[in-house]
Amino acid sequence: MPSQSIESTVKPSIRRLWAPAVLALLSISASGCDAYKKSFNQAFDKSTHDSCVTSAISHQAAPDAAERYCSCMVAQLQGLSIQEKQSLNPSSDKVQQAVAHCKAQTP
Cβ atoms of residues 90 and 16 within 8 Å: no
Per-residue pLDDT averaged across 64-68, rounded? 95
Whether 105 shows a pLDDT value over 80: the answer reads yes
38: left (phi over 0), alpha (psi -120 to 50) or beta: alpha
Q: Where are the domains of the chain?
A: 6-105
The pLDDT of residue 72: 97
The pTM of the whole model exceeds 0.75: no
The pLDDT of residue 14: 57
The pLDDT of residue 77: 96
pLDDT band at 65 (very low <50, low <70, confident <90, very high): very high
Per-residue pLDDT averaged across 76-94, rounded? 92
